[in-house]
Amino acid sequence: MLRWSVILLVIALIAGIFGFFNLVAAAAGIAKVLFFIFLVLFVVSLFMGRKGRSM
């Protein structure tokens, strides 16, 4: 999922250089959503990993 957010960020940057503003907004919006989903899943996995190791 992080790969998709990076790919969409690159698409947004390239589209911004060429002036495709609608494509920039769409790709940047999707990249932001995917990044925050990845961030939430990462934090949850950190807590779940620590919970499973306690003995």
- Answer yes or no: is 53 within a domain: no
Q: Which band of pLDDT confidence, cut at 50, 70 and 90, is reported for residue 1?
A: low
- Answer yes or no: is 54 within a domain: no
- Answer yes or no: is 15 within a domain: yes
Exposure string for 4-14, b = 16+ CB within 10 A, e = fewer: ebeebbebbee
Q: 10-49, pLDDT tens digit by residue?
A: 887 887 777 777 777 887 888 888 888 888 888 888 888 7
pTM for the predicted model, two decimal places: 0.56
- Answer yes or no: is 8 within a domain: yes
Closest by alpha carbon to 27, among 39, 11, 38? 11
What's the pLDDT score for residue 51?
A: 66
Look up the domain containing 6 and give its range: 2-48
Closest by alpha carbon to 14, among 27, 1, 3, 32? 27
- Answer yes or no: is 21 within a domain: yes
What's the pLDDT score for residue 32?
A: 86
